[in-house]
A = this chain, B = another copy of it.
Amino acid sequence: METRRAESFSDGVFAVAITVLVFNLLPIARHGIKFDELVRDAWPQYAGYVVSFLTIGIMWLNHHTLMAQLAKVDRITLVINTFLLMGVVAVPFPTALVADNLAHGTKVESARLAAVVYGLLLIAISIAYSGLWMYVAAKQDTLGARKIRTPLEATIRFSAGLLGYVAGTLVAAFGSPYVAMVIFAAIAVYYLFDHLPDPTGKDGGLPAAGVPGSTSDYDGGPPAG
């Protein structure tokens, strides 16, 4: 299958999944809304919206970066991709769990449970992403149009992302679910800025002006999803 159409379908799924997050905000809207209901009571909804939006946004960026290396995708790539998307589409669910259970007045067991489920889903997505990454790296001679650079370094950096999610989940399980959510947010923000292109063009991040497609926009970095 051409990469283009697999990308197109995946893009659509990412776009819908990221937009579904707003459905966690809609129930806040009530007749006769008061300031306290809108701000003090609903902050976990907003926090969950922002963290999950950034997380899905970065997953999309990394997904694109990976797919852009490929000239073709085979059936196994598509199967792994389906499982990856299954995780991405599910993100609004633990986001709702967290939003409903992190507000003041919730028992800490429920908050903990919600944050653990959130972390477990991110770990599952990371593992699917990891599988996709390793499969594609192994098959790059048949699938890839471009040489994937430094798979070893990239795999190490990827593991760091996965470890961050595992650490956050452990903190949710045995420490504070609030700290855990801060960790998940920090990972999202970190990966948002991690791959800023080198102005010298050393990483191939920035092409010459007016020459679309002339160089790879892949900088050898790991998937973060």
For A16, list chain B residues within 8 Å (CB): 12, 15-16, 19
Q: Does chain B have a CB within 8 A of A151?
A: no
A28: contacting residue among B11, B93, B192, B210, CB under 8 A: B93
- Asked if B15 and A13 make an inter-chain contact with CB atoms under 8 angstroms apart, the answer reads yes
Q: Which residue of B has the minimal Cβ distance to A32?
A: B110
- Asked if B210 and A33 make an inter-chain contact with CB atoms under 8 angstroms apart, the answer reads no
Q: Does chain B have a CB within 8 A of A107?
A: yes
Q: Does chain B have a CB within 8 A of A57?
A: yes
For A31, list chain B residues within 8 Å (CB): 100-101, 103, 106, 110
- The interface residues of chain A, by DSSP majority, are classed as helix
Query: How often does this chain occur in the complex, in copies?
Result: 4
Count how many chain A residues have C-beta atoms less than 8 Å from C-beta atoms of the other chain.
89
The 5 A-B residue pairs with the shortest CB-CB distance in the complex, in nearest-first order: A12-B15, A29-B96, A16-B19, A25-B93, A57-B82
Q: Does chain B have a CB within 8 A of A125?
A: no
Please report which residues of chain A, range 142-184, place their CB below 8 angstroms from some CB of chain B when the two chains form the complex. 142-145
Q: A57-B82, A110-B34 are in contact. Are A217 and B22 (CB under 8 A)?
A: no
Q: A19-B16, A72-B212, A92-B22 are in contact. Are A106 and B145 (CB under 8 A)?
A: no
- Asked if B9 and A9 make an inter-chain contact with CB atoms under 8 angstroms apart, the answer reads no
Q: How far is the CB of A188 from chain B (nearest CB, A)?
A: 10
Q: Does chain B have a CB within 8 A of A202?
A: no
For A12, list chain B residues within 8 Å (CB): 11-12, 14-16
For A15, list chain B residues within 8 Å (CB): 9, 11-13, 15-16
